[in-house]
Structure 1
Amino acid sequence: MLWIKALHIVFVTSWFAGLFYLPRIFVNLAMETPGSTTERLLLMARKLYRFTTMLAVPAVVFGLVLAWMQYSGPEGMKLPGWLHAKLLFVVLVLGYHHACGSLLKKFERGTNKRGHVFYRWFNEVPVLLLLVIVILVVVKPF
C-alpha cells in the first residue's frame, strides 16, 4: 500500500505542477499581440496540457486504488466524511483541468475574449483546491 501511496503523491504533485503553470502561459498569451511568440506559447501550452493529462490519469487511478484498499471490506465501501469531501474536490480539479483544455482551444482558434487579469485569478484556483485537499487528507476534520 505504501508504494501505491508514494506513486499517488508523485503523480498528484506532477499533475498540479502542470495545473499551476498552464494558466501562467494563458496570462502571457492574453497579453500577446499575434506574432511569433504566440505560436511558441501555444505550442508550449498544447504540450503541457497533453503531458498534464497523462499525469492526471495515474494520479486518479492510484487514489481510487488507495481508497479501495483502505476502505473496502466484506460489508462494502465505507468511506469517511473527509474522503467524500476530498473526492468532491478532486472532481473540481478534474473540471478545472477540463476548463484549461477548453481555454486552450479558444486561444488556438483565436477566439479568447478574456484579458490577462482573468487568467491571473484563474491561475490561483488550483492552489486553493490543493490547499483544501491537503487539509482534508492531513487533518481529517470529519
Structure 2
Amino acid sequence: MLWIKALHIVFIVAWMAGLFYLPRIFVNLAMDTSGPSTERLLTMARKLYRFTTMLALPALVFGIWLVALQYGAKMPGWLHAKLGVVFLLLGYHHACGSLLKKFERGVNTRGHVFYRWFNEVPVLMLLAIVILVVVKPF
C-alpha cells in the first residue's frame, strides 16, 4: 500500500504543478493577444494541458485504489469532503481545457486580471485537500 500511496503523491504533485502553471500561460496570452509570442504560448499551453491530463489519470487511479484498499465502502467524513474537492479540481482542469480552446479560436473575452485570480483556485483546493488529509477534521 505504501508504493501506491507514494505513486499517488508523485502524480498529484505533477498534476498540480501543471494546474498551477497553465493559468499563468493564460495570463500572458490575455496580455499579448496578437504578438509574436502568442503562437509559442498557445503551443506551450496545448502541450502542458495534454501532459497534465496524462498525469491526472494515474493520480486518480492510484487514489481510487488507495480508497478501495483502505476504506472500501465505509469512508470517513473527511474523505468524502476530500473527494468532493478532487471532483471540483477535475472541473477546474476541464475549465482550463475550455479556456484553452477559446484562446486557440481567438475568442477569449477575459482580461489578465481574471486569469491571475483564476490561477489561485488550485492553490486553495490543494490547501483544502492537504488539511482534510492531514488534520482529518471530521
* TM-score (norm: length of structure 2): 0.99
1:93-108 to structure 2, matched below 5 A, reads 93-108=89-104
**Residue in structure 1 matched with residue 71 of structure 2 by the alignment:** 71
| Secondary structure at 1:52 match in 2 | helix
Residue identity in the other structure for 1:42: L
The aligned amino acid for 1:91 is F
In the other structure, the counterpart of 2:117 is: 121
> Which residue number corresponds to residue 110 of structure 1?
106
Alignment correspondent of 1:50 = 50
Structure 1 counterpart of 2:37, one-letter code: T
User: Structure 1 CA distance, aligned partners of 2:122 and 2:19?
Assistant: 7
The Cα offsets for residues 13-46 of structure 1, whole Å up to 9 and x where unpaired, read as 0000000000000000000031320000000000
Give the Å deviation of 1:88. Answer: 0.2
Question: Is the partner of 2:15 in helix, strand or coil?
Answer: helix
Q: Tell me the alpha carbon deviations over residues 100-132 of structure 1, each in whole angstroms, 9 at most, x when there is no partner.
A: 000000000000000000000000000000000
Aligned residues: 138
Partner of 2:33: 33
What is the RMSD of the two structures over their aligned residues, measured on CA atoms?
0.5
Gaps of 5+ in 1: none
Partner of 1:5: 5
Q: Which residue of 2 aligns with 1:137?
A: 133
Structure 1 match to 2:76: 80
